[in-house]
Amino acid sequence: MTASLLEPAAREWKEALGHVDHDMYHVPDYVVLDARLYGGTPAAFHFEQNGRRVLLPLIVREIPGSELRDALSPYGYPGPVSDAVPGDLTFWRTACAALKETMREAGIVSVFVRMHPLLNPPSPVLGEAGALVRHGETVSMDLTVSVDEMWQQTRSDHRNHINRAKRAGTRVVFDDWGRLAEWVEVYHDNMRRVGAADYYFFTHEHLAALHDAVGDHMHLAVALEGDEVVGGNTFFEYDGIATGYVSSTRRARGRYADELLYDSVRRWCKDRGAKVFHLGGGKGGVNDSLFSYKAGFSPSRHPFHTWRVVTDPAAYAELMLNRRPEADPTDLTGTFPSYR
């Protein structure tokens, strides 16, 4: 049995990915670049026993005013990935115990993880080791069905808006990375409009660096009215799974570039052999108006969970006492970690 906290260049990280079903979020290059945005250190917990393994990508952060650290998963839906089935309770109990011990020895007091809705469902053991919290659902499009069936699965208002965008002459082009800077301006305008947190103002430099790092696994679709960029999607395509990264369109009455982009991306990905296009869920994982909008493209739903683990209960309780004395340190279902 081995358990360790890996650096991105570690041989074991690459080897583990060769044995487990995974997505773009588990690739070291992605974790490295996302860690820069968070101001943390990229890492991955790796556990192996009797030829089976678990890999969990993480970003390790300093806790301000403390010598301790905590960890969270990169942006998106990483979750632990493994070649052990979720029902192998003995294996997962051993892995979870090893996770806690490895993190505690590294001075990491808590771990917050966003689970992957499309890969293997989480083992029930995760709820024993911490709190496995179910939020809302995410939406995916089944790209193995015919284009006609995808269209029939699309809500009537979305179909109407897509047709209106086409009649208005809006067109979508793919992988014209020379348009990235123009689209980033549209994206930032929208982020300011909705009052997004600083983290979500992905820069041209970050997106270009991410594309340079992962190559043909990342794509850009932009919507054009004439020669003006009025919207765009960045998305990943990895091992049959297409996943939206960030998207935005310029607001205007009667403009439906956003719906046209979703429709165009799914058709493009289907033509390239992708099996599913994962749209994600609502803001914060809840079934809100954003979720309802995405749900209009497909009937496919997936439960979304987060996993919260306290690896050093005494240190966690002391942080809570000093920073949020009114809160219950044993309640892991609300804001986590609560001392932040």
What would the pLDDT profile of 140-157 be if each residue is shown by its tens digit?
Answer: 999 999 999 999 999 999
Q: What is the CATH number of the domain that holds 263?
A: 3.40.630.30
- Give 324-333's long-range contacts (Cβ < 8 A, gap of 24+): 332/130, 332/131, 332/133, 332/308, 333/131, 333/133, 333/308
What CA–CA distance (Å, rounded) separates 1 from 12?
14
Claim to verify: residue 66 and residue 160 sit in the same structural domain:
no
Using DSSP's 3-state secondary structure scheme, residue 126 falls into helix
pLDDT of residue 287: 82
Q: If you average pLDDT over residues 239-253, what whole number do you get?
A: 89
* pLDDT at 307 exceeding the cut of 90: yes
Claim to verify: residue 157 and residue 119 sit in the same structural domain:
no
Residue 152 lies in a domain: yes
Claim to verify: residue 7 and residue 127 sit in the same structural domain:
yes
What would the pLDDT profile of 200-231 be if each residue is shown by its tens digit?
Answer: 899 999 999 999 999 999 999 999 999 999 99
- According to DSSP, residue 102 is labeled H
CB count in 10 Å sphere of residue 95 = 27
Claim to verify: residue 107 and residue 199 sit in the same structural domain:
no
Calculate helix-pair angle for 28-38, 204-214, nearest 10 degrees.
160
Claim to verify: residue 69 and residue 117 sit in the same structural domain:
yes
Claim to verify: residue 234 and residue 189 sit in the same structural domain:
yes
Which ranges of 52-172 would DSSP assign to H, the alpha helix? 89-105, 125-129, 147-153, 156-167
Structural domain count, the chain = 2
What CA–CA distance (Å, rounded) separates 248 from 190?
7
- Record the pTM: 0.93
Which ranges of the chain would DSSP assign to H, the alpha helix? 11-17, 28-38, 89-105, 125-129, 147-153, 156-167, 180-194, 204-214, 257-271, 289-295, 313-323
Residue 339 lies in a domain: no
What CA–CA distance (Å, rounded) separates 156 from 24?
32
Residue 101 lies in a domain: yes
Claim to verify: residue 126 and residue 195 sit in the same structural domain:
no
Range of the domain at 205: 144-274
Claim to verify: residue 45 and residue 115 sit in the same structural domain:
yes
Claim to verify: residue 237 and residue 312 sit in the same structural domain:
no
If we measure between CA atoms, which residue out of 148, 26, 159, 134 comes closest to residue 80?
Answer: 26
Claim to verify: residue 15 and residue 72 sit in the same structural domain:
yes
Claim to verify: residue 255 and residue 228 sit in the same structural domain:
yes
- Would you put residue 39 in left (φ > 0), alpha (ψ -120 to 50) or beta? left
Residue 64 lies in a domain: yes
Residue 29 lies in a domain: yes
Mean pLDDT (the chain, rounded): 95
Claim to verify: residue 213 and residue 102 sit in the same structural domain:
no
Residue 332 lies in a domain: no
What would the pLDDT profile of 62-87 be if each residue is shown by its tens digit?
Answer: 999 999 999 999 999 999 999 999 99
Residue 295 lies in a domain: no
Pairing status of strand 276-281 against strand 300-310: unpaired
What CA–CA distance (Å, rounded) separates 111 from 100?
9
Residue 123 lies in a domain: yes
